[in-house]
Amino acid sequence: MSETHTAIVFFVGDRAFKVKKPVDLTFLDYTTVAARRVACEREIALNRRFSPDVYLGLGEIRGPHTEAPEPMVVMRRMPSDRRLSRLVREGEAVDDALRAVARQLAARHADAPRSREVDEQGTRDAVSSRWEAGFAQVRVLADEGDAPAVTAEIERLVRRYLAGRKQLFDTRIEQGRVVDGHGDLMADDIFCLDDGPRVLDCLEFDDHLRYVDGLDDAAFLAMDLESLGAPEAAALFLAWYSEYSGDPAPPSLWHHYVAYRAFVRAKVSLIQERQGAPGAEAAFQRLITTALHHLRTSTISLTLVGGLPGSGKSTLSGALADRLGVTLLSSDRVRKELAGMPAEKSAASRYREGLYTPEWTARTYVALLDRASALLSTGESVVLDATWSDSRQREEALRMAERVSADLVALHCRVPGEVAAARLNTRAPGTSDADLAVATAMAADEPPWAEAVTIDTSGALDSAVVQALSAVRPWGTDQAPVFRRSYMEPD
C-alpha cells in the first residue's frame, strides 16, 4: 500500500488500485462519491496522454453497507525497483532515462491543445496569482498562522521578478509555450522500463493548475531531482527539455519555475505534517530553502562596470558576464555599430573629438540602456561595460533599472596610475580607442562615484572577479544549480 495526502494505492498482483481520500483541502474537495468518481475518470483520461498502457480503466469497490460504490483507478502495476527516485537515490545511471523523459515531455507539449483559456494561465498576472494563493495557504497551514521568516524574502523576490517581466510572459504566450501539461511531474511517478519511461499521476483536480508554461512543467522534475541530491541531473534534464522543445527561455525563468515548484511542494509538506506524515517538517524546511536559493539566483540584475581606460573594466566585464552566464553589452561596440563601423576598426581621436564628442557619447549611452532595458524585461541579466564617468548617465541607468524591477550594482575598477599607463602603452589594437593622453584627460574630469563598489583590478583577474561576485551576488553563487544554454551545445 502507498499513501499520499489525496489518495491511497493498493497493490494486488500485477495491478494497482487507487482510491481517492474523502478530504477537503480548499484547493480540492473529494468529500462526495460523485466528486471522487469525476476525479478518477479525469485521472484516467489525462494520464493516458503520457502512459496509455498503464491506465486500464475505472473500477469500483462495493460494500454491503455502502450507499454507492467507491470509484477507483485501475492501473498496470509498475516495478518499484525501476522507479526514477529510487534509481537516483541508489546512484544508478539515469541520464538516458532523463533524456527520454525530456523528449517525451517535449513531444506531449508540442501535441497539447492550445486555446485562449490555456494561454490565460501563462500570463504574468496568472503566475502571480498562483504564487499569492500559495503564500496565503502557507500562512494558514503554518503554526498559529505565522509563516516562517524566510517566506518574507521569498514573497519579496517573487513580486520583484514578476513586476518587471510582463514582456517575458507575453512573449512566452506568443511563442505557444503555455500548454495543457502534466502539472505534477515527480521522480516517484516515473518508471524507467526497458522500452522507455512511463510517466504517471498527472494533476487532474484543477485544469487551471495544469495549464502551465512547458518549462514550468519540466521544472517540477528538476526541482525533485535536486531534492533527491542530484542537481547536475536536474540541470541536464532542463537543458534536454529545452533542446527537444526548442525553448529559448532565459535561465532566470528556469530558476523562477524551479523555485515555484519547490514552494508548491513545501506547501504539500505542511499538509502532510498536519496529517502526521513522518519527516514532513524537515521536507518543508529543505524545500523552502531550495525555493529561496533559486529565487535569489533568478534575480534580474544590471551591473555597471566602469572605470578609466586601462583600469581593466572590459576584461573584468567579460569574465564576470561569463561567470554569471549573463549578457554583456559594451559601449565601445555600440558606439561603432551606431557609426556603421566594424568594432575592431580604429576610431582613435583626441579627447571629446570624433566619435567621442559629448553628443556621440550621449547617443551611445541611450542606445546601450535601451538595449539593456529590452533584455532585462525579458528575463536576461546584463553587464554594461562603459566608463560611466558622467553622473547623469549613472542616474539614468538607475531609473531604467527601477522601471524594469532590476537590481542595479555599480562596480568601479581602479588601478594605480602606473599600472594603467603600462597597460595602455602595451595594449594591442581592439575595440577601445583610448590612449594614455585620453585617459589622463578623462581622469582630470572624473567625478566621484560614491555608490559604486571599488574593485582593485591591478592583480590577478580571478581575484577581481571574486570581488565583483561578492558585490553582485552577496548570498553566494554556489547555492543553486547553474542552468545555462551551454548544456545544449554539442560536445
Residue 448: inside a domain: yes
Residue 446: inside a domain: yes
Give the pLDDT of residue 431: 86
Domain tally for the chain?
3
Q: Are residues 23 and 124 in the same domain?
A: no
Give the pLDDT of residue 355: 85
Report the chain's mean pLDDT, rounded to a whole number.
92
Q: Are residues 30 and 64 in the same domain?
A: yes
Give the pLDDT of residue 185: 96
Give the pLDDT of residue 469: 96
Give the residue-averaged pLDDT of 347-353. Answer: 85
Report how far residue 473's alpha carbon sits from residue 460's, in angstroms, rounded to the nearest whole number: 20
Query: Nearest CA to 424 among 308, 304, 317, 342?
Result: 308
Q: Are residues 105 and 209 in the same domain?
A: yes
Dihedral pair phi/psi, residue 298, rounded to 5°: -80, -5
Residue 443: inside a domain: yes
Report how far residue 168's alpha carbon sits from residue 11's, in angstroms, rounded to the nearest whole number: 45
Residue 69: inside a domain: yes
Dihedral pair phi/psi, residue 306, rounded to 5°: -125, 175
Give the pLDDT of residue 479: 54
Query: Nearest CA to 472 among 452, 456, 458, 446?
Result: 452
Q: Are residues 119 and 181 in the same domain?
A: yes
Give the residue-averaged pLDDT of 386-390. Answer: 95
Give the pLDDT of residue 490: 31
Residue 24 pLDDT class (50, 70, 90 cuts): very high
Give the residue-averaged pLDDT of 456-483. Answer: 84
Q: Are residues 123 and 259 in the same domain?
A: yes
Q: Of 260, 281, 298, which closes a domain?
A: 298
Tens digit of pLDDT for each residue in 290-344?
999 999 999 999 999 999 999 999 999 999 999 999 999 999 999 999 999 998 8
Query: Residue 198 belongs to what H/E stretch?
Result: strand 196-199
128 alpha carbon, distance to own chain's centre: 15
What is each CA distance from 403 to 188, 396, 406, in whole angstroms?
42, 11, 8
Q: Are residues 36 and 176 in the same domain?
A: no
Q: Which of 269-283, 357-371, 392-406 has the lowest mean pLDDT?
A: 269-283
Q: Percentage of the chain with pLDDT > 70?
A: 96
Dihedral pair phi/psi, residue 447, rounded to 5°: -80, 165
Residue 491: inside a domain: no
Q: Are residues 104 and 67 in the same domain?
A: no
| C-alpha cell recorded at residue 454 | 571599488
For the cut 50, the answer to whether the pLDDT of residue 486 exceeds it is: no
Q: Are residues 130 and 219 in the same domain?
A: yes
Give the residue-averaged pLDDT of 242-260. Answer: 97
Residue 477 pLDDT class (50, 70, 90 cuts): low
Q: Of 282, 298, 314, which closes a domain?
A: 298
Q: Are residues 132 and 59 in the same domain?
A: no
Q: Are residues 181 and 292 in the same domain?
A: yes
Long-range contacts of 415-423 (CB under 8 A, 24+ apart): 415/310, 415/311, 415/312, 415/456, 415/457, 415/458, 416/458, 417/443, 419/310, 419/458, 420/308, 420/309, 420/310, 420/311, 421/310, 423/310, 423/312
Residue 485: inside a domain: no
> Any residues with CB less than 8 A from the CB of 369 and at least 6 apart, and which?
384, 396, 397, 400
For the cut 70, the answer to whether the pLDDT of residue 484 exceeds it is: no
Give the pLDDT of residue 488: 38
Give the residue-averaged pLDDT of 30-53. Answer: 95
Give the residue-averaged pLDDT of 232-238. Answer: 97
Residue 323: inside a domain: yes
Q: Of 48, 74, 100, which closes a domain?
A: 74
CATH code for position 125: 3.90.1200.10
For the cut 90, the answer to whether the pLDDT of residue 398 exceeds it is: yes
Give the pLDDT of residue 147: 58
Q: Are residues 152 and 59 in the same domain?
A: no
For the cut 90, the answer to whether the pLDDT of residue 471 exceeds it is: yes
Residue 490: inside a domain: no
pTM: 0.89
For the cut 50, the answer to whether the pLDDT of residue 489 exceeds it is: no
Query: What's the number of CA atoms in the CB half-sphere (13 Å) around residue 244?
Result: 21
CATH code for position 392: 3.40.50.300
Tens digit of pLDDT for each residue in 91-116?
999 999 999 999 999 999 999 989 99
Q: Are residues 378 and 231 in the same domain?
A: no
Give the residue-averaged pLDDT of 165-193. Answer: 97
Report how far residue 186's alpha carbon sits from residue 224's, in angstroms, rounded to the nearest whole number: 6
Give the pLDDT of residue 326: 95
For residue 255, the enclosing domain spans 80-298
Give the other-Cβ count within 10 Å of 100's Cβ: 15
